[in-house]
Amino acid sequence: MNSLTATGWRDPARTNVHGILVSVVVAVAAISLAEHYHVSAMLFALLLGMALNFLSTEGRCAAGIRFSASTLLRIGVALLGVRITLGQITALGALPIAMVVGSVALTIGFGILLARMLGYRTRFGVLTGGAVGICGASAAMAIAAVIPTHPEDSVKERATIFTVIGVSTLSTAAMVLYPMIAAALGFGREHAGVFLGGTIHDVAQVVGAGYGMSKETGDVATIVKLLRVAMLLPVILVITLAYRKQHAGSSDAPKPPLLPWFVVAFALIVAVNSAGLIPAVVQQALQTLSTWLLVVSMAAIGMKSHLKDIATVGVKPIVLMVSETAFLAILVAAFIDLAR
């Protein structure tokens, strides 16, 4: 009996290990390149992974690549909760909280509306609007994980990859341009931090832009950005409830769970972290682990993708994401102007 149990545990590990190791190797290369060129590690992981697409089609790596693109992704998203405490959120005050909640909701709504006008499905607007409004590539992958899988699953994967490429590129451009825009609009250090934290897509780019202006700006920008990351929980809950309602009358389509396990884990980690029960050393280690898992999963998603599919997306998706980014920037700038 014991030998059977041991074999049962070993077999999945043997099946997945080669694909996981390949994904980790790509992630190491991506993070090294990102540190050297100061560009998103997820973008490098995606592009390097796409160059190794042949590994995911057959052979010993295929199962581990699928595991890395799904299970490791969900663990990495759950561990994002270690970056946030309720104290950080309440310290901002009512107005910035209202701004973040409103801007995330309105950006997703704008994304849905514009996507429909451009001839795309609602889910593409949710995916791109959520990525722009919340936390870039991490949000794109988290939202994609709760959107039900359909027969045209390759379409969903292609949309996810395009969104990650687009949001990473736009975030890097924003890191350079938005500090100049904040200065041109006459924002002080605190307001500049609110603007940068409320508009730039990825956490790393917010930190780079904020602390590039001043320590005070960087501190405010980081806290505002983490509040946007915290919006991942209610947004995913709303998306899940919407899809459950949509499939309520369908007997053959499986309903998504009320709350995916990784979202529950995210909320629990935020609660434990808010209570001060996670030592600083462990907190730092979990943040690093989360980053690595997300980069590893992005490498695996890249390996599951075909470059020729991404090359055929056309101009309209680019217009969609650029418009969402501009909409969010104008919205946050208008809020700051009213609050001054």
DSSP string for 130-167? HHHHTTTHHHHHHHHHHSPP-TTHHHHHHHHHHHHHHH
What was the pLDDT predicted at 1? 42
Query: How many domains, in total, are found in the chain?
Result: 1
Is 2 within a domain?
no
Tell which wins on pLDDT, 192 or 144: 192
> Per the structure block, which two tokens stand in for 108?
């997703």
What was the pLDDT predicted at 4? 44
> Per the structure block, which two tokens stand in for 102?
């409103």
pLDDT exceeds 50 at position 33: yes
pLDDT exceeds 50 at position 125: yes
Is 331 within a domain?
yes
Average pLDDT over residues 117-126: 91
Tell which wins on pLDDT, 42 or 307: 42
Closest CA to 246 of 101, 106, 146, 138: 146
* CB of 164 closer than 8 Å to CB of 298: yes
pLDDT exceeds 70 at position 311: no
Average pLDDT over residues 62-85: 86
pLDDT exceeds 70 at position 274: yes
Tell which wins on pLDDT, 261 or 306: 261
Closest CA to 54 of 323, 314, 304: 304
Closest CA to 121 of 243, 248, 232: 243
pLDDT exceeds 80 at position 308: no
Is 258 within a domain?
yes
Chain centroid to Cα 134, Å, comes to: 8
Q: What is the mean pLDDT of the chain?
A: 84
What was the pLDDT predicted at 5? 47
Closest CA to 201 of 135, 139, 151, 145: 135
> Per the structure block, which two tokens stand in for 198?
């409320």
Is 6 within a domain?
no
pLDDT exceeds 90 at position 103: yes
Is 165 within a domain?
yes
Tell which wins on pLDDT, 164 or 187: 187
Average pLDDT over residues 41-55: 85
Domain ranges, residue 235:
17-339
CA distance 167 to 84: 22
CA distance 108 to 134: 9
pLDDT exceeds 50 at position 315: yes
pLDDT exceeds 50 at position 217: yes
> Per the structure block, which two tokens stand in for 133?
């409004």
Most confidently predicted of 138-152, 229-243, 316-330:
316-330
Average pLDDT over residues 322-328: 96
Spatial CB neighbours of 225, under 8 Å, sequence gap ≥ 6: 135, 197, 198, 200, 203, 206
Is 133 within a domain?
yes
H/E stretch holding 43 reads helix 41-51
CA distance 133 to 77: 16
Average pLDDT over residues 171-198: 91
From 123-132, 175-184, 298-307, 308-317, the region with the lowest mean pLDDT: 308-317
pLDDT exceeds 90 at position 131: yes
Is 120 within a domain?
yes
Is 1 within a domain?
no
What was the pLDDT predicted at 313? 62
Tell which wins on pLDDT, 91 or 60: 60
